[in-house]
Structure 1
Amino acid sequence: MMLNKALEYSTAYLLLGGNLGDREGNLEKAIELLDQKTGRVISVSSLYETAAWGKTDQPAFLNQAVALQTNLSALEVLEHALNIEQELGRIRKDKWGERLIDIDLILFGNEVINIPDKLQVPHPHMQNRKFVMEPLAEIAPDVVHPVLGETILTISKNMVDPLEVKKLAKL
Structure 2
Amino acid sequence: MGKVYESWIHSAFACDVCGRFYAHAVSLGLHKKVHEGLTTCALCGKVLNKVADLRAHLRQVHRLSKDDVKKIVPHQGERCRYQCDLCGHVYRRRDSLTDHRLHHLGRTACHVCGAVYSTVRSLRRHLRDVHRLPADEVRRNTELDAPAGPAPL
Tell me, yes or no, whether TM beats 0.5: no
TM-score (norm 2): 0.29
TM-score (norm 1): 0.27
Please identify which structure carries the higher strand content.
Answer: 1
